[in-house]
């Protein structure tokens, strides 16, 4: 039986109950719910057992072995194991079959970060005065100013931006909200977009309450927003392997390099645990070396 779920009719009442509980109790985004659905559907189809109570430790191990055999990335295997554990815990079976099963160890990979100069180069690219350039400049300035996720950016509504208030309310994972400060450049760019560009983009189109809209007057999809941002990264001639989180990583790293407290960066990013934020303290070893040489009394030759 295939490890990768096929698109055929499938029914598992326990799985549907679990997914509804995730959506209601944890407030997870729709794309996260669908990821759980795909992973668990593949697992249940592979073992051929619709009843969670019938699933054994051997079933889980055999499934993981199948994932290894088709060469899935270790992080993908761990994600699927995590979904299985959560599902079996929800159905009352986790302690019996999955808690002591270990996934593959992951190598700690540091995220790619843009330099301050590279970010400035990107921010300067939308330099025309047409509505799309004004909008794009506002998007890039806001993304770098706040470090928000792309999913958070596209979910912003017009009402959250009040130019007289130097903060913006961001709705993060699980519906958790946080206030993030805005700088002068971001406030100016978004204000100009709302006053000049957005009315032109929305003219004659159905009303959409989201802050940033496409030329069709609708809010962006996640892939559409990333395509726009990545286009400017390429246009700037940056060859680094960037991801949708690259601006977020750069935001956090530049704050820490400027002397910001780790707890403050944790709050701005909306991380539940400071352990997640600590990865940014390991990013720029050259910067740390320069600081050490500059300030430590025994670091330089007399």
Classify domain 13-97 by CATH number.
Answer: 1.10.150.130
Rounded CA-CA distance 229/177 in Å is: 24
Q: Which of 38, 121, 132, 245 is catalytic?
A: 245
Residues of the chain with CATH 1.10.150.130: 13-97
* Catalytic (active site) residue 46: no
Q: Which of 132, 178, 230, 271 is catalytic?
A: 271
Q: Write phi, then psi, for 157 (nearest 5 degrees).
A: -100, 160
* Catalytic (active site) residue 280: yes
For β-strands 177-181 and 167-171, DSSP reports them as: antiparallel
* Catalytic (active site) residue 215: no
Q: Which of 85, 248, 249, 254 is catalytic?
A: 248
What does pTM read for this prediction? 0.64
* Catalytic (active site) residue 282: no
The reported pLDDT for the residue numbered 291 is 63
Residue predicted with more confidence, 130 or 10? 130
Report the topology of domain 116-240: hpI Integrase; Chain A (1.10.443)
Structure tokens at 280: 């940014």
The reported pLDDT for the residue numbered 5 is 42
Rounded CA-CA distance 106/113 in Å is: 20
CB 12 within 8 A of CB 52: no
- The 10s digit of each residue's pLDDT in 188-208 is 999 999 999 999 999 988 888
Structure tokens at 155: 């979910």
* Catalytic (active site) residue 203: no
CB 182 within 8 A of CB 167: yes
DSSP secondary structure letters along 121-143:
HHHTS--S-SHHHHHHHHHHHHH
Go through the chain and tell me how many residues it has.
Answer: 302
Q: Which of 173, 178, 192, 210 is catalytic?
A: 173
Residues of the chain with CATH 1.10.443.10: 116-240
Rounded CA-CA distance 274/295 in Å is: 27
Helix axes 131-146, 116-123, angle to 10 degrees: 160
- The 10s digit of each residue's pLDDT in 8-50 is 456 788 899 999 888 888 777 788 889 899 999 999 988 888 7
CA end-to-end span of the chain: 70
Q: Which of 85, 135, 149, 254 is catalytic?
A: 149
CB 208 within 8 A of CB 217: yes
CB 172 within 8 A of CB 147: no
Structure tokens at 111: 């995220």
* Catalytic (active site) residue 149: yes
């Amino acid at each position: 039986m295939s490890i990768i779920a096929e698109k055929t009719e499938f029914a598992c009442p326990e799985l549907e109950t679990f997914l509804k509980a995730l959506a209601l109790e944890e407030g997870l985004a729709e794309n996260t719910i669908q990821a759980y659905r795909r992973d668990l559907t593949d697992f249940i189809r592979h073992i051929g057992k619709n009843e969670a109570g019938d699933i054994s430790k051997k079933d889980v191990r055999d499934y993981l072995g199948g994932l290894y055999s088709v060469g899935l990335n270790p992080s993908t295997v761990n994600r699927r194991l995590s979904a299985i554990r959560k599902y079996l815990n929800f159905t009352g079976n986790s302690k019996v079959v999955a808690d002591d099963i270990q996934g593959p160890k992951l190598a700690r990979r540091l995220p790619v970060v843009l330099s301050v100069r590279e970010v400035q180069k990107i921010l300067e690219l939308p330099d025309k005065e047409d509505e799309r350039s004004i909008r794009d400049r506002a998007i890039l300035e806001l993304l770098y100013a706040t470090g928000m996720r792309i999913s958070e950016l596209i979910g912003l509504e017009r009402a959250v931006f009040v130019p007289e208030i130097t903060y913006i309310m961001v709705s993060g994972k699980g519906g958790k909200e946080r206030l993030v400060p805005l700088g002068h450049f971001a406030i100016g760019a978004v204000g100009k977009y709302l006053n000049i560009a957005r009315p032109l983009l929305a003219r004659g189109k159905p009303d959409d309450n989201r802050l940033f809209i496409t030329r069709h007057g609708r809010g962006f999809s996640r892939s559409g927003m990333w395509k726009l941002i990545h286009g400017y990264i390429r246009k700037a001639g940056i060859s680094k392997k960037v991801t949708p989180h690259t601006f977020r990583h750069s935001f956090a790293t530049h704050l820490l390099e400027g002397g910001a407290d780790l707890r403050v960066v944790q709050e701005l990013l909306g991380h539940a645990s400071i352990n997640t934020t600590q990865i940014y303290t390991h990013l720029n070893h050259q910067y740390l070396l320069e600081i050490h040489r500059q300030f430590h009394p025994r670091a330089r030759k007399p």
